Structure 1
Amino acid sequence: MGRRTFAFMGVVFFLFLLSGCDSNDTVTKVNIGPLPSNPDEWVCPGSVADLSEAEIDSWCLAHVGDGEPAPPNLRVPPNYTNHDMKNAFDTAFRDFLRSRLYDTELNWAHDLNWRMTGPYVGAIGHGEFYGVHSTAVRIYYSPEVIGWLCADRQGTIPDGAMIIKEQHPINESLGISVDFQGCMEIDDNVEPTHWTVFIKNNEASRDGWYQGSFTQEPSPPVAEWELGNPPILDASAVTSDDFFTETMNPPWERNENWYPTGYLFLKDGKFPDTVWRYSQYGNWCINCHASAEKESTFSSLINVITSGTRFKQFSPDLLLLEDPDFRGNLHAPQRIALSYLESQNEAGFNDPFTNPLPEPTQEFLTFYDQIQSVDFTRAWEVRLPAETYDHQVSLAAGPGKYLTSDQCIGCHDATFMNANLPNMIVQEQEGKNPAERYNLSPYGEWKASPLGQAGRDPIFFAQVQSETNFFASGLAGLPEPAACIETTCLHCHGVMGQRQYQIDTEGDKEKEKEDCISLFGIKPPAQVPYGMPLPASAVTEWPGSSPNTDQIYGSLARDGISCTVCHHIVDTAFNTEAEYTGNFVTGPANQLYGPYRQIVQKPMGNALGVRPLYGKQTQDSQLCGTCHNILLPVVSNDGALLRFSYEQTTHLEWTNSVYSKEGNSYVNCQGCHMPKSFYDKAVKTKIANIETPDFPPTSNRLPDDEITLTERTSYSRHPLHGLNVFLNEMFQESPLILGRRQIDFMTGVATTQSLTTARNSFLDMARNQTASVEIRSLEKTAEGKLRAVIKVTNKAGHYLPSGVGFRRVFIEFLVRDVEDNILWASGRTNSVGAIIEGVNGPVLPSEDVIQNPALFQPHYQVVDRQAKAQIYQELIKDSDGNLTTSFLRRVTPVKNNRLRPKGFDPEFFASNPSTYISELARIPGDAKNDPFYTNPQLTGADEIEYLITLDAASMAKVDNVKVTLYNQSIPPFYLQQRFNDANVGAAQKNQIQRLYYLTSHLNTDGAKEGEEAFIKDWKLMLATDTDYVQ
């Protein structure tokens, strides 16, 4: 067996576990190609043993008491929070398996022979396997398990008991014989190439098992890092010190062999990083084992006493795989996923991710000179821990309020389990091209969304550090202002960690608790827990860090606005301001809510101790409003509390639009941000991948009606984004700095990558759902000027832009000759996205907020000079009269001409009894004089007149006008202020430096869709129109 095969085997062995179950596409039939649709027809006649009670009793009488338990040092796997102990345990257990002492010395009972767990299509070694674990298996049982089996599977399996599944790829070396009926039997007694292990520790997790995967020692030897894990080292979850060279510890430059993160195959010299733990409590194997009748195992004495169920081979002459070593020794999800590649050859996977710039451009360094440039070494020092360490499981006593998303991934990702295409993958057409398949699972799309990345968002953390730097000397009389700012901000972005910390410290130090509550303008509902403030530093902690006392809360916070956030919310405080600013009320820890009434409940109950229930609130926009209406204190520059006002109002903006009113125009938040279609085609799918009756027949499974999935004909996808494609690109280009796995562990390379699907979804929303721009009229006037009337229409259900106040949308207006040379311009930008004067003029003074802190472009109804630009934005000044992007120093609004949604009426807000909401009726700046902002018959759009003066020669050349609407999620003035805040007050820099590195190396020219650089010059196109002068 070659070096490459063993590298595959070592790196991915753990994935074989996942294939302990098949997928299903409908309730009654399974999409199995050349196989019969009825799984019973996969089984060889007469091979299903039916042992009598007397036969079992006789065997047990003869064998109970045989064998020795596992050594004491291997009976209690440590929790992952003890990093060194876990690595030591996993290494020792791997050595125990390789020695096969469980067989040769401990004399454990085992399956009578190697066996297949399902049918096979094609020639052996060149076909596709539809059984579990994607391998042949032979299982060994410790004496404790045999005792439980002989007791008719009653009671609880005791701690320290083990089930060891030996595995071997299905190929010619197994010595498989096939009889005239197509029935397969393994004749040879081969050595295992890898193992799946269950070790019982009842109190450690809900299912009570430490689930692990381990590989055989390869021959010939390969590099240690090619063997997978254990060990797992470093904050970036690498598997060997070979990851670092002698001259790169810490690294001083990016190494191409680190990427893509989470990717393990078909790339020579690839260093594993951000790896999945092959062995841990709460592993994803439960996606199948939760369908077991009890104790999360299908184990049966039938396989020990008899040869077990035999399965058939179909189409034995079919060559489906040219190179059997290509995937013969890989772990299940990614092993199977590889067979879905367009071509199964050494060329392998085409990396879709943009590489960052090797060095910042000079224009970037010049414009952003507020702090010193940040190199890779410093970026490495301030990187976030890998998502490998984001792991909180449900315990035997029941789940905590919040669990990390890796507890959901096995069932609710598009998990590959055998040769069937998993549920929740949409395939454009039949074929093997991954570019034609999309992972539309809840996990897959959520993980790549801003919600899934909220706990690692570098823009957010830089913003928080700006606030804590400025108010280090005092804020509203708080004794610990930084701690209160951080915990308030994490109340949404790191909500699971912050909330769990509140629950765990509720009642501690009442004074500090009440102090932080004072940052809420409206008292939160009584059901919202409040304890000690969670520091932002918690998100940097991981099992190997020092300190790591808050690592549990850090791991929960890094997982962002995760599954058990939204699906825990109840409607107790809906329609009240008390629930805003992230103060939602949750149901019991053991309940989660979704939009369906017909629900399979047993598997989730077995896996997590959680009962899934119908909850109409999951389809209510109020659920979104809890975090998308943010009421914050308004504070002077010297820290005095002045009042409270809304910093964000996206949900309230929607309520003041035609889209919130019942009728033909009604569209709720979920209607746009959780669409039920994919490129205009309705998505119909089952929304889980678990063991169902469509699997090969097996023993000790739950009744069919308790594990039969329903196809959802109304499925709300989870893209959950707006227009911040810049954030998506940061995660694509610098995943190690942000601790992000680029390749989905469950789908491998078989689909378009989720980050790419998300990026494409961003672009689709930007171009088709956000705005339109139209040249309403274009003429040369009698006075010799060029006159154009432009109409911009907001298609969104809220302001455009919405959310945080620093975002902006602006118009680029170009007058061109017949060869499209530009004769006159307004709204052009330079390479860093700063708006310049005219065609190639200087940066507008209003674009440099450091040099000109009070200047800005007002709202225009007429643009008649190249130094004017129509910018849709909110601008606020601090108590010193300077423009600010602080979330707290928002003293004097001076402009808010963001495009209103259709049907917006200022009176709707003005008549609200809440003083905070009624304040939203005010329109600061010149937009208050524009009827498109005040007349409900006109709102939802804006009209601007452009009046251009040119000399006679230039006017004679005018051929056409092009108008383009652009969006900037992080405009230049925002970044200037963030970087400058590294020098104020406490002058803490780590979070701000991380953002500087990411933005200074962001490859805005290299990020492309096809041939288009979609964020070139730091702007995202929303709409464009061209008209010709008659």
Structure 2
Amino acid sequence: MAPPIVIALSLIPVDNQPIHFHSEAELASFRQQIQTNIKSRQFYGEIDPPHGMVDSNILFPTSRSCSGCHGHDPNMVAFMTSSGEDVNIHDDWRSTMMANSARDPFWRAKVSHEMLVNPAHSLGLQDKCTSCHAPAGHYQAKLKGNQPHYLLSHLYADSLGLDGVTCQACHAQSPKLIGTLHSGALNFDTNYIRVAYGPYKFVFAPPMHNFVGITPEFGEHIGDAGLCAGCHTLITNTVDLNGNYTGSTFVEQATYHEWLNSRYDETHDNISCQKCHMAQIPDPVVISANYQFLFAKFPFGLHELAGANMTMLKLMKANREALGIDAEAEHFDSTIAATLRMLQKQTLNLTLKTEDATGDSMHFSLKLENKAGHKFPSGYPSRRAWVEFEVKTTNGQTLFHSGKLNPDYTIVGENANFEPHHNVISTEDQVQIYEMVPVDIWGSFTNVLERCFMAIKDNRLTPQGFTTTDPAYDTTKIVGLGNDQDFNRFENQAEGSGADILHFIIPNQQFTGQLNVKARVWYQSLPPKWMDPIFAFSSPEIDAFKTMFESADQSPTLIAEASLDSVFVSTVPVKQPTTEELVQIAPTWSIDGRVQVTTPEGVRLHSIEVWDSGGKRLQQIFNLGSPTLLQLPANPGVYFVVVNTERGRVIRKVVKM
């Protein structure tokens, strides 16, 4: 009986498994079935070369060689969850930024831009950029072709390179040197590169070995965050405005190092990149089509690879044919939905509070707590987030609006060179933008990566557990905070909160009444100040991207929002009522919650209101006599008693013990 044999073989380490598990007749049957499956999906046509076996000179087979077994299963057995959802690896992957890293039109335009600015560095620039965006083509050319440089012209004619961050770019990485590499350096063991490391200890190897020529093995490092380090840490060599190297370096991005400087690293919570960006599901999942007798594996990591770049995903979806992308619109829809979930569910917590709503100004605080395992935003330095803060009357009149977006997707009030970090915002032309701002050797903002000399500002929200004493701080520095004592600080001033508290002190404008307050945090991956200098140049790559970008949806993504409704504000200070003798409220510190309100003879009470410190009205009582006994809510806290009389309004603060 077949199942007992399979059980025995699945428990044997891969090195001891016989290569000839199937008879020739079985192999022929399975090959035919795989070809039929692929034809039915109409993704690639027949597997090539014959029978799917990859030429031994090719170190990195393209994803098409993997899709026959790790794509959609027409029999609806493999990659099906308990709820009937198809979570096959290939379909989830092929609409991601990783899969399309080499077809990304912004990346191509940016490489072209750097080449035009510093043409003498063209070969080195292209070679460096393709090492991460086209790793299979790049390293195939280096390790097998002995090419000194892998260029865009090579990429455009190379199916390996065009496959982006393809399957084996991750699954063939060696455990040696993991987490120590950066700037496109990836370690592949050329003596044993036809291996695919996976997360499961018991491996059924013959199908992949026989059909593709790759041997699957368990590799604990496949779930290690260090697997991402080689490309998600980039250090560039700085040049002056004439293209001469200065001897300085610049940390263009250090997402992996940000993770090291967090509570999520291996020595603390040990939540790796993969655990968030390839979320695991508990359902047992059969991980190969065509083998209905295989045992299901769990947990299973979804290959959604969700990040944050909604703008480029939507742009590539709209230009699939022009970019040669094989993913269908529905695949992009799934990736876009996963990306939006990542941004709105796993990125920020917002807490909005009323501090003081009386007197000549209104005081609010907004706490932003980073939930990501790295800075937010992270990655390519154009990415930024900002706070929009709006105060309106209940009839819709705007009293204050900071962080408003212009029609051209710039932000109202932002400084041309860069907007400084704010601890307190009191005018509408001040806006809190969380970003990294690189400058050249003369201190001017630059979007030319080779010219980046230092960051004049980096107030991106740090991950929880981040400290300035961590060994990784030299590549993850906070810059330009001024005297902000709230940033990444707990109440006791210890580092590592991963939060920032932003204070708003807004002129009251002689308004008394109820207001609605709303705070929103927006994310923008390609702001105009980063795009305009690129579009000042012309090349086939820049011109093509400009056409796509100008017709694309450039709207920023809403990350989180918080609001306060019906906040009562008054020009009368709480601690200094205008007519002290007009109303007496006692006691102002109440244990049982009972408070007595008394007015002088001849002063008629119209109503009494009780508000909490968050700006919510809890009680409103009419037609009262004097004295009147109030019963405060049961919860201890600070309350405001508003007494409306025929001679005006008086507000008192009362504390319920």
Whole-angstrom distance in 1 between the partners of 2:362 and 2:443: 38
Pairing partner for 1:404 from 54, 62, 65: 62
Please name the residue that 2:451 is paired with. Answer: 889
Q: Which letter does structure 2 place at the counterpart of 1:967? A: Y
- Structure 1 pair 397–772 and aligned structure 2 pair: CA distance change class (3 A): closer
- Structure 1 pair 496–392 and aligned structure 2 pair: CA distance change class (3 A): farther
Whole-angstrom distance in 1 between the partners of 2:224 and 2:285: 22
Matches within 5 A, 1:193-342: 293-294=23-24, 297-298=27-28
Please name the residue that 2:551 is paired with. Answer: 1001
2:378 paired with 1:802: yes
Whole-angstrom distance in 1 between the partners of 2:45 and 2:398: 51
Matches within 5 A, 1:934-953: 936-952=494-510
Q: Which letter does structure 2 place at the counterpart of 1:407? A: S
- Structure 1 pair 936–649 and aligned structure 2 pair: CA distance change class (3 A): farther
Whole-angstrom distance in 1 between the partners of 2:237 and 2:26: 50
Matches within 5 A, 1:373-388: none
Shift of 1:721: 2.5
Moved more, 728-737 or 612-621: 728-737
What SS does structure 1 have at the residue aligned with 2:230? Answer: helix
2:16 paired with 1:454: no
Please name the residue that 1:566 is paired with. Answer: 170
Spell out, residue by residue over 1:965-1022, the C-alpha distance to the aligned partner (whole angstroms, 9 max, x if none).
Answer: 1111111211112212x1xxxxx511111211111111x3xxxxxxxxxxxx621011
Spell out, residue by residue over 1:64-121, the C-alpha distance to the aligned partner (whole angstroms, 9 max, x if none).
Answer: xxxxxxxxxxxxxxxxxxxxxxxxxxxxxxxxxxxxxxxxxxxxxxxxxxxxxxxxxx
Please name the residue that 1:773 is paired with. Answer: 350
- Structure 1 pair 1001–496 and aligned structure 2 pair: CA distance change class (3 A): same
Spell out, residue by residue over 1:770-811, the C-alpha distance to the aligned partner (whole angstroms, 9 max, x if none).
Answer: 0121103253232x2121111001000100000111100100
- Structure 1 pair 671–662 and aligned structure 2 pair: CA distance change class (3 A): same
Whole-angstrom distance in 2 between the partners of 1:575 and 1:458: 29
- Structure 1 pair 1027–299 and aligned structure 2 pair: CA distance change class (3 A): closer
Q: Which letter does structure 1 place at the counterpart of 2:209? A: G
- Structure 1 pair 335–891 and aligned structure 2 pair: CA distance change class (3 A): closer
Which 5+ residue runs of structure 1 have no aligned equivalent? 1-23, 29-289, 301-330, 339-385, 430-436, 475-480, 507-530, 541-550, 695-707, 745-752, 838-843, 847-851, 910-916, 983-987, 1005-1016
- Structure 1 pair 772–555 and aligned structure 2 pair: CA distance change class (3 A): same
Please name the residue that 2:526 is paired with. Answer: 970
Q: Which letter does structure 1 place at the counterpart of 2:264? A: Y
- Structure 1 pair 299–470 and aligned structure 2 pair: CA distance change class (3 A): closer
Contact 2:179 2:225 in 1 (8 A): no
Contact 1:296 1:606 in 2 (8 A): no
Please name the residue that 2:410 is paired with. Answer: 834
Whole-angstrom distance in 1 between the partners of 2:513 and 2:243: 57
Matches within 5 A, 1:70-149: none
Spell out, residue by residue over 1:854-883, the C-alpha distance to the aligned partner (whole angstroms, 9 max, x if none).
Answer: x21100000111001000000011124321
Contact 1:392 1:403 in 2 (8 A): no
Contact 1:815 1:823 in 2 (8 A): yes
Shift of 1:684: 2.3
- Structure 1 pair 974–958 and aligned structure 2 pair: CA distance change class (3 A): farther
Q: Which letter does structure 2 place at the counterpart of 1:666? A: N
Shift of 1:590: 2.1
Please name the residue that 2:264 is paired with. Answer: 659
Contact 2:82 2:283 in 1 (8 A): no
Pairing partner for 2:438 from 876, 880, 883: 876
Q: Which letter does structure 1 place at the counterpart of 2:111? A: V
What SS does structure 2 have at the residue aligned with 1:561? Answer: coil
Spell out, residue by residue over 1:548-580, the C-alpha distance to the aligned partner (whole angstroms, 9 max, x if none).
Answer: xxx3xx21111001001101001211243xx21
2:365 paired with 1:725: no
Q: Which letter does structure 2 place at the counterpart of 1:974? A: W
- Structure 1 pair 334–756 and aligned structure 2 pair: CA distance change class (3 A): farther
Q: Which letter does structure 1 place at the counterpart of 2:172? A: H
Q: Which letter does structure 1 place at the counterpart of 2:498? A: G
Whole-angstrom distance in 1 between the partners of 2:47 and 2:114: 27
Please name the residue that 1:924 is paired with. Answer: 479
Shift of 1:662: 3.9
- Structure 1 pair 586–742 and aligned structure 2 pair: CA distance change class (3 A): closer
2:71 paired with 1:413: yes
Instruction: Name the TM-score, length of structure 2 as normaliser.
Output: 0.77
Contact 1:907 1:921 in 2 (8 A): no
Shift of 1:816: 1.4
Shift of 1:592: 1.4
2:278 paired with 1:716: no
2:315 paired with 1:738: no
What SS does structure 1 have at the residue aligned with 2:231? Answer: helix
- Structure 1 pair 498–629 and aligned structure 2 pair: CA distance change class (3 A): same
- Structure 1 pair 646–965 and aligned structure 2 pair: CA distance change class (3 A): same
Shift of 1:391: 7.5
Whole-angstrom distance in 2 between the partners of 1:608 and 1:482: 36
2:500 paired with 1:500: no
Matches within 5 A, 1:501-580: 501-506=141-146, 531-540=147-156, 551=157, 554-576=158-180, 579-580=181-182
Whole-angstrom distance in 2 between the partners of 1:392 and 1:804: 38
Shift of 1:889: 1.0
Matches within 5 A, 1:590-739: 590-642=194-246, 643-663=248-268, 665-677=269-281, 682-690=282-290, 692=291, 694=292, 708-739=293-324
Whole-angstrom distance in 2 between the partners of 1:533 and 1:919: 31
Contact 1:897 1:927 in 2 (8 A): no
Shift of 1:389: 12
Q: Among the aligned pairs, what percent are the same residue?
A: 24
Please name the residue that 1:485 is paired with. Answer: 125
- Structure 1 pair 976–833 and aligned structure 2 pair: CA distance change class (3 A): same
- Structure 1 pair 724–427 and aligned structure 2 pair: CA distance change class (3 A): farther
Whole-angstrom distance in 1 between the partners of 2:243 and 2:67: 44
The alignment covers a number of residue pairs equal to 540
Please name the residue that 2:574 is paired with. Answer: none
Instruction: Name the TM-score, length of structure 1 as normaliser.
Output: 0.50
Whole-angstrom distance in 1 between the partners of 2:150 and 2:57: 21
Please name the residue that 1:1026 is paired with. Answer: 563
- Structure 1 pair 923–333 and aligned structure 2 pair: CA distance change class (3 A): same
What SS does structure 1 have at the residue aligned with 2:115? Answer: helix
Pairing partner for 1:992 from 537, 542, 552: 542
- Structure 1 pair 415–882 and aligned structure 2 pair: CA distance change class (3 A): same
Shift of 1:299: 7.0
2:103 paired with 1:463: no
Contact 1:817 1:959 in 2 (8 A): yes
Higher strand content, 1 or 2: 2
Whole-angstrom distance in 2 between the partners of 1:539 and 1:388: 22
Whole-angstrom distance in 2 between the partners of 1:466 and 1:995: 12
What SS does structure 2 have at the residue aligned with 1:810? Answer: strand
Contact 1:777 1:790 in 2 (8 A): no
Shift of 1:397: 6.0
Contact 2:257 2:476 in 1 (8 A): no
